[in-house]
A and B are shown apart, each in its own frame.
Chain A
Amino acid sequence: AQSVTQPDIHITVSEGASLELRCNYSYGATPYLFWYVQSPGQGLQLLLKYFSGDTLVQGIKGFEAEFKRSQSSFNLRKPSVHWSDAAEYFCAVASFSGGYNKLIFGAGTRLAVHP
C-alpha cells in the first residue's frame, strides 16, 4: 500500500539557519509528490510538486525539494529560514487507484523558528 513517512514530528531551527525536512514514500509506480504548508490557523498551501523531469524542484517562498528514487525520498530544503516559516509541513503522494486523485499524506512536521 502507498504510504508517506515524515520521520521528524517537531523540528526547531534558528532564524537564518538552513532547513531540511525529511519525507520517505512507498509507491509502486513513478510517484507524484507534493509538499504542503499549513500556517497556524490557516488552510493548506501547496509549496511545490514533482511529477517528472528534473529531480530538483523549486517552489514558492524559497523552498526546494529533491526527488531521489533510489532512496524513495523527497526532502524539502530551504537555505535560510525566516520566522514566518514556522508552520506544519506535510509531504504527500498522489495515488491513482480507481482512476481518481487521492492524496496520501504524511503525519506532518511541525517547524518552530527561534529568533
Chain B
Amino acid sequence: EAQVTQNPRYLITVTGKKLTVTCSQNMNHEYMSWYRQDPGLGLRQIYYSMNVEVTDKGDVPEGYKVSRKEKRNFPLILESPSPNQTSLYFCASSHIAGGRYNEQFFGPGTRLTVL
C-alpha cells in the first residue's frame, strides 16, 4: 500500500530535550515536506526537500532541522524543543514533474506537546 508513515504519532516531552520525528514514504517520491498545523493558522511549511541531500527552508523553519540521506526518509529534528513548538505535524511527499503540480500525499500526523 502506498503511504507516508510518521512516528511517533503522539509525543509529550519537556523543554530542551532533543527529539526526532521520522517520516518515511514508499512511493519513490523525490519531494518531501514538513508542515505544522496550529489553530487559526492552518498548515504552514517548515522545510522541504527536492531530493536526497537537497533541503531548504519553508515559511517557519526556526527551531527545526531536517536531513535527507535516503530518498524514502525525511526526519524532522528539534534540537531544543520549546513550548511554542507544541503543534500537529504533517509530513508530505510527491513526485516532481516540471511545470505541473503533483499531488502530495500526507502522513497521519504527529501531535507534539512540549512542556
Interface hit among A11-19, A68-76, A77-85, A94-102: A94-102
- Chain A CB within 8 A of B43 CB: yes
- Residue of B42, B45, B50, B90 touching A108 (CB-CB under 8 A): B42
Contacts from A to B (Cβ < 8 Å): 4, 6, 9, 32, 42-44, 46, 49, 51, 90, 92, 94, 96, 98-103, 105-108
Q: List 23 A-B contacts (CB under 8 A).
A: A6-B42, A42-B109, A43-B106, A43-B107, A43-B108, A46-B103, A49-B103, A51-B101, A92-B43, A96-B101, A98-B56, A99-B98, A101-B33, A101-B94, A101-B104, A102-B48, A103-B35, A103-B43, A103-B45, A105-B35, A105-B43, A106-B42, A107-B40
If A100-B96, A107-B41 touch, does A32 touch B101 (CB 8 Å cutoff)? yes
- Chain A CB within 8 A of B102 CB: yes
In contact, B42 and A44 (Cβ under 8 angstroms): no
- Chain A CB within 8 A of B44 CB: yes
Nearest CB in chain A to that of B4: its residue: A43
Nearest CB in chain B to that of A9: its residue: B40
| Mask of B80-96 contacts with A, CB within 8 angstroms, 1/0 | 00000000001010101
Query: How far is it, in angstroms, between the C-alpha of A43 and the C-alpha of B40 when the chains are bound?
Result: 17
Shortest beta-carbon distance from A41 to chain B in Å: 9
| Mask of B20-52 contacts with A, CB within 8 angstroms, 1/0 | 000000000001010100001111110010100
Shortest beta-carbon distance from B115 to chain A in Å: 21
Nearest CB in chain A to that of B44: its residue: A105
Chain B residue contacts of A43, Cβ below 8 A: 90, 106-109
Nearest CB in chain B to that of A46: its residue: B103
Closest 9 CB pairs of A and B: A105-B42, A105-B43, A43-B108, A94-B101, A44-B106, A32-B101, A107-B42, A43-B109, A108-B42
Shortest beta-carbon distance from A69 to chain B in Å: 17
